[in-house]
Structure 1
Amino acid sequence: MVNRLTKKGQLTMFIILGMFILLIFGLVFYFVNQAKETALQETAEKSLSDALQTDPFKYYTSLCLKATMEEGIKIIGENGGYIYDEDYDITEEGIMYFIRSVPKVPPWYPCNNHYNPPAYCRYDLDTVALGNIHSFGNINTNTDNYKDFEEIAISDLQQYIDDNLTKCTDFDTLQAIIPSYNITAGTPSTNITIGERDITAITEYPVTFHKHGQKPITTIAEYSATSRIRLKKIFKAASNSISYDNSFPDFDIIKNSSSGYFESPKDEKIILSFRDLIPGARIYKEEKQNHDIIIINDSFSRIGAEQFAFRFARINRPPVLDYINKSDTDEYDYLARPEENITFNLKAADPDEDNIVFSVKGGWKNNKLIAGGLVTSTGYVELLRDSPGLTGDFNDGDAGIQKTNFSVSEINQGLEDYQEVRFMVCSSKKTDGVVCLEECGSSPVCNDKQQGTLLDSCSNGITADHCSDLCMEEPSDVCIHDPATSDSCNADEKCNGTEKYEYADTDDNGINDSWCLGCVYCPSARVSKNTDLDEDDKCGCYSGGRSWEEEWNIAYCDDDLDGIFEGTCQNNICVESET
């Protein structure tokens, strides 16, 4: 009985042991097969990856990458810095505007201040306008600096390559090499680097291989290509020229960029960096009706056999008329007297180097304007001094402010800049014994007999006999005499010295608040004197015949009030000089 049970237990143990051994062998066989399959998978993946990197296929794919990249670079050059239109400001040809016009109404253009004061925009061509003090358009590169431009160009070029690389990649050839697999190309991912002299693209290209009954194999192939395009240098050179073109109306973007320097209106030579930034490049323009296309061709940047061209647009802008003004006051620009001919030296420039023409409109009752000075010219212009001018007789009914319109326009679209010039017309009346302290009686404040008594009213332009006519010249301040030293004359010299002394009415309020350096008073004469006087020489007439050391101290006088100082003060008398 015992033996039978023992044998039965032993049999059970053998069965369990056998099953365990079979399990061990099964696991070993499984892991061996798995190892073989893994090795085969790794071998297959390596083989397929190597197939993607074979010299013929890699060479062809790299050529495809370079061709696609250069297609995108060419579009960037043609469009002025972009590939994909994201609401950029562009021409009908699709070229980006680098300068856009500012919608300002003359005569504010190109000044920034649209509000009083001052009453008029006092811009002139001699103003150095860098720093956007004055601008002749909006710089519109959609970037603040090169870094922004680079980011836009890189982003657009990367997207262009990723979207178009599959169009030229030849996977049919690869399929023929390994026909047992179905090949599917994924979406490439490209990284662009813009250097000083070239542009490099590195693309990661995912490719999936399918074989019936086996797990798909995906591998990442990497390809690179380089094009010698100096895009960074070209854009920096373009930006350099654009900044000057937007700041100086007489800057010629082609001529000055090519020459390498620009003579500013202040006779300062500004060295431009265009030629230094991009040696070997040429800049020129194509003129359209409402804009110019500026083109930079770089002989060291080539796509195939062609030079790379970078194009951008510049909107047609109005010409710039220099500010016309001869008076220091904001009330008027010119004083006008009977039978006086006023001539102007008009200056204007067109920021786009277009032909321009001057015109004059207006006048008043008894006057006419000489229109013989209408001139058509290119770019910067200074009109001849003899025209356009104002001439003719006028009567007292013309006294006061009269206005005339001076304008300059360009011939393409008729864009113009103009100024309404204000003439203070003086009356021809004179009355003995009364002197108006303010110019042409613009304020009813008078000095009776030069003794400091203020009258309640004064007719326009009234002056005392034997005293200076306030309209003969254009004083901003009227110097009156010192009653303690002179009792018969008032001089109208401007108080424009570097020093001020008492007994000059510098603010035209009828109160003597300082001396005018250079104002000297003589009986029956209007006098002038050198301004480099000592303080002790600030008043009185001086005798002629001094020694040469004191010759500069002579006072000159205008006894007949014709505006010509033909005499010198000798013993307090105006003696006409011998000729």
Structure 2
Amino acid sequence: MQHNKAQATIFIFLGILLLFTIVVLVFVYTGDENEIAPIQTLTQAEMEPIISHIETCLRLETDNALQLLGEQGFALYADQGGTLPSLDANKEYEEFLYYDEKPVRYLISLKPENIVHENPDGTGDIIISNSLTATQRLTDTTVLAYPWTTFPINPATGQEQLYLSSGFGWNHLPPLQPVRAHSIKEQMEGFIAANLLTCIGTWDQFPSFTITTNDPTITVLFGQSATTVNLNWIVKMTHESGREGTFTVYQTRRPVRLATIHHFINTLLSNDVSQAGFDIYQNDSDFHMYIERNYSGGGSVIRLVDPKSRIGSLPYEVRFARQNRPPALYYVDQERLNTPTAQYVIGSCEDARIRFTGTSLRVTEGDNPCPLNITIPFQAIDPDEEQVTFTITGRTGVPYAVTAADIAQPLPCIPYTVHASDGHDEDWQTFNIRLKSVQFGRCA
């Protein structure tokens, strides 16, 4: 009987112990559950309206950046959110001109001029230094300023020189990548970052959410067929129910092959400022090009349309301006006019006739016979592919009949100046018609 009673006591004790253990475990489990219970997260579908709003603004501001870059000559100004200093209205026709009510930046100009100095190594060479061009070595400063006096002859070599790196203007196209200030990449990233938050607004259109963010980081990538913009931005969304969600990376890919366009334009500009006779129309490409002229301040606007790039439903267009460059008049060699050859010996030819044909000056015999038949042809190259017209001015005017008084002069030379004009700017040269054999003196 005692044995059974002891067993019952043991069972009761074990039962109480088991019950206590169960109660403790339940309490501990319940307490841990309250402490580490995970926060319920928002689904992708619930976050999608906010994500879509951000991606829409990213796409819109990317398109705005590309549109303005194209319209303004690869320029995004500080007051627009870009990096270039804001426009100075007083510098129209110096830094930009207006086309279609947009300021189009000059990508070709005659400034800045070369910084010219003698080589310190004692060779006597002239060093041409410019931040936008490689240093060059020439041996005569007269070829440094466009258009130089003896164009197209290099006075240092006596040879024709129609190629001179950056000799016919300056290429101001900003680089695509940040190798120097105001690259297109930096301009776009700054513009998109500055305007993105304005587009997004205050989040009031999502009243059920509390939204917090860090500072956005924009990265622009240039491919051969598209331009991609990545946005790294931590956006934490907390619903009024307490559920949370976070999204970080956004992207838009625009069908504008800006890298291809930039490479083509850079090659085009480099050729245009280095080759006197380069015709900007003559290029082997699938771009459509148009030149708009007749600006009161001179210069022209080049419009390049890329049928393989689009913004919205329209092909992408880039515009840039060229500052007007005067024609380069081919040098009239005074020594050749002085040379006593059969072609240029005039003798004492009273009544000889001097006439201007529009492209040459001709001296022919008049009523008195004399061995006279001089034609001085005029030639000029206009780097902007504009029509060049020639005019003649001088002491006598043209046409003119040589008089006995002209011939009686101690040094019988009649000076004329030929002007080559594109309608805005001109190049000119003064030379002399010799009326007697060189034994009487040489015209200067």
Coarse TM-score class (shorter-chain normalised):
0.5 to 0.7
In structure 2, relative to structure 1, the CA distance for the partners of 1:60 and 1:208 (3 Å cut) is closer
Are 2:110 and 1:101 aligned? yes
Moved more, 294-303 or 391-400: 391-400
Q: TM-score, normalised by structure 1?
A: 0.50
Per the alignment, residue 96 of structure 2 pairs with 90
Are 2:58 and 1:65 aligned? yes
Are 2:355 and 1:362 aligned? no
Bigger RCO of structures 1 and 2 (CA < 8 A, at least 6 apart): 2
Listed as ranges, the gaps of 5+ residues in structure 1 are: 1-24, 105-110, 261-274, 372-388, 428-438, 441-459, 462-470, 475-579
Q: Is the 8 A contact 1:198 1:230 kept in 2?
A: yes
The 3-state SS of whatever aligns with 1:163 is: helix
Looking at structure 1, the residues matched to 47 and 59 of structure 2 have their Cα atoms a distance apart, in angstroms, of 18
In structure 2, relative to structure 1, the CA distance for the partners of 1:115 and 1:54 (3 Å cut) is closer
Aligned CA-pair RMSD = 4.2
Looking at structure 2, the residues matched to 53 and 96 of structure 1 have their Cα atoms a distance apart, in angstroms, of 46
The 3-state SS of whatever aligns with 1:64 is: helix
Please state how far the C-alpha of 1:285 moved relative to its aligned partner. 1.5
In structure 2, relative to structure 1, the CA distance for the partners of 1:183 and 1:147 (3 Å cut) is closer
Please state how far the C-alpha of 1:209 moved relative to its aligned partner. 4.8
Q: Is the 8 A contact 1:146 1:235 kept in 2?
A: no
Per the alignment, residue 130 of structure 1 pairs with 163
Please state how far the C-alpha of 1:101 moved relative to its aligned partner. 2.6
Task: Indicate which of 365, 374, 382 corresponds to 1:342.
Answer: 374
Are 2:195 and 1:164 aligned? yes
In structure 2, relative to structure 1, the CA distance for the partners of 1:322 and 1:56 (3 Å cut) is same
The 3-state SS of whatever aligns with 1:309 is: strand
Per the alignment, residue 395 of structure 1 pairs with 407
Please state how far the C-alpha of 1:37 moved relative to its aligned partner. 4.4
Number of paired residues?
Answer: 341
Deviations 1:233-276 (A, max 9, x none): 1122112222232234443323x13xx3xxxxxxxxxxxxxx1x
Please state how far the C-alpha of 1:349 moved relative to its aligned partner. 2.7
* Counterpart AA for 2:427: D
Task: Flag the structure with larger Rg.
Answer: 1
Q: Is the 8 A contact 1:69 1:201 kept in 2?
A: yes
Please state how far the C-alpha of 1:103 moved relative to its aligned partner. 9.0
Q: Is the 8 A contact 1:401 1:422 kept in 2?
A: yes
Q: Is the 8 A contact 1:342 1:391 kept in 2?
A: no
Per the alignment, residue 184 of structure 2 pairs with 153
Please state how far the C-alpha of 1:305 moved relative to its aligned partner. 0.3
Looking at structure 2, the residues matched to 90 and 96 of structure 1 have their Cα atoms a distance apart, in angstroms, of 4
Looking at structure 2, the residues matched to 244 and 322 of structure 1 have their Cα atoms a distance apart, in angstroms, of 20
Per the alignment, residue 217 of structure 2 pairs with 189
Relative to total residues, which structure has the larger strand share, 1 or 2?
A: 2
* Counterpart AA for 2:107: F
Per the alignment, residue 321 of structure 2 pairs with 313
Please state how far the C-alpha of 1:292 moved relative to its aligned partner. 0.7
The 3-state SS of whatever aligns with 1:95 is: strand
In structure 2, relative to structure 1, the CA distance for the partners of 1:174 and 1:401 (3 Å cut) is same
The 3-state SS of whatever aligns with 2:427 is: strand
Looking at structure 2, the residues matched to 136 and 355 of structure 1 have their Cα atoms a distance apart, in angstroms, of 17
The 3-state SS of whatever aligns with 2:104 is: coil
In structure 2, relative to structure 1, the CA distance for the partners of 1:400 and 1:37 (3 Å cut) is farther
Deviations 1:533-564 (A, max 9, x none): xxxxxxxxxxxxxxxxxxxxxxxxxxxxxxxx
Please state how far the C-alpha of 1:419 moved relative to its aligned partner. 0.7
Deviations 1:367-402 (A, max 9, x none): x5535xxxxxxxxxxxxxxxxx99665424242665
Q: Is the 8 A contact 1:190 1:204 kept in 2?
A: yes
Please state how far the C-alpha of 1:62 moved relative to its aligned partner. 2.5
Q: TM-score, normalised by structure 2?
A: 0.64
